[in-house]
Amino acid sequence: MPRIPAPHRVPRQPWAWLWLFAASQVAVLALWWIGGWQWGLPALLLTHGALVWATLRPQSPWFSPVLTRLRTDERVLWLTIDDGPSDDTVALLDLLDAFDARATFFLVGERARARPELVREIARRGHGIGNHSHSHPAAWFWALPPRRMAAEIADAQAVLGELAGQPPRWFRAVVGMANPFVAAALRRHGLARVAWSARGFDAVAADPQQVVARVERTLAPGAIVLMHEGAGHGRNVETMRALLERLRVLGYRCVVPEISAA
């Protein structure tokens, strides 16, 4: 199966945002001094709002480069599966084999440590493995302080590297939200951040056809598709089958991209 190049952009200046933000606050103080609160307060809210927006938007490149789609005109896509390994993993692997599809599994370190045989099976069947944090703190990942953020990424990298035989090269933020302290950890481990361009909200939506319809609305050549495993509703495998069937009808192939220079 052919592979499509994907730029692997590790953050080069992970603290550049801090200097820019500090400069913006100096400018805010100057505006406040010159024009009073009528000028200073809106400027303060604008600069802090931009910081929050850059954190909460998965496709934001403000703190670190992020890959959102592959550059190709071919009907290929990068299928990515978050939150494993889980009880769904083997069934998903069998489905992917049946459809001659390849995917990248973004795995959680603690879950991988508990089920090492699944990590090895993913690698054995020729799929990619990415770093998706160590403990998956979904509610607070966006707000983690520097030391905790570094540990989340480093611990998962160590576990996944040991089990898969080589360390991951790709990272996906939990819920896609990467706060300002992610970039330094990515640089330390040579990781590049991946977001997505198409999703169906299958982590919460239990209707396979609804999920597939949502994915299809934003599908295009080179799309990065976000899917999940192990959701509480228990229908991720059924949903994946429906998606793969629809992709076959539409003429799309699922490939694992070849890492290229940025």
CA–CA dist 179, 58 (Å, integer):
10
Q: What is the total count of domains within the chain?
A: 1
Q: Is residue 114 part of a domain?
A: yes
The yes-or-no verdict on residue 42 having pLDDT over 70 is yes
Asked whether residue 17 is domain-assigned, the answer is: no
In a domain, 27, yes or no: no
Q: What share of the chain is helix, strand, coil (3-state, %, to 5)?
A: 45, 15, 35
Look at residue 104 and tell me if it is in a domain.
yes
Q: How far apart are CA 170 and CA 70, in angstroms?
A: 14
Collect all residues with Cβ–Cβ distance below 8 Å to 121 and sequence separation of at least 6: 89, 90, 93
Distances in Å between the Cα of 150 and the Cα atoms of 7, 142, 145, 184, 228 are 23, 13, 9, 8, 24
With respect to residue 22, please indicate whether it lies within any of the assigned structural domains: no
- The one-letter amino acid code at 34 reads I
Residue 2 has pLDDT above 60, yes or no: no
Which CATH number does the domain housing residue 115 bear?
3.20.20.370
pLDDT tens-digit readout, 142-194 = 999 999 999 999 999 999 999 999 999 999 999 999 999 999 999 999 999 99
Question: How many Cβ atoms from other residues are within 10 Å of residue 199's Cβ?
Answer: 21
Instruction: For residue 58, tell me if it sits in a domain.
Output: no
98-150 pLDDT tens trace: 999 999 999 999 999 999 999 999 999 999 999 999 999 999 999 999 999 99
Task: With a cut of 70, say whether residue 93 has pLDDT above it.
Answer: yes
User: Tokens for 118?
Assistant: 């699944």
Name the percent of the chain lying above pLDDT 70. 98
SS3 67: strand
What residues make up the domain containing 208? 66-260
Q: Cα(179)–Cα(38) distance, rounded to whole angstroms?
A: 30
Radius of gyration over every alpha carbon of the chain, rounded to an integer in angstroms: 20
pLDDT of residue 262: 63
Cβ pair 79, 227 in contact under 8 A? yes
What percentage of the chain carries pLDDT values higher than 90? 96
Residue 1 has pLDDT above 60, yes or no: no
- Burial classification of residue 64, based on how many CB atoms lie within 10 Å of its CB (0-12 exposed, 13-18 middle, 19 or more buried): buried
Q: Does position 260 have pLDDT exceeding 80, yes or no?
A: no
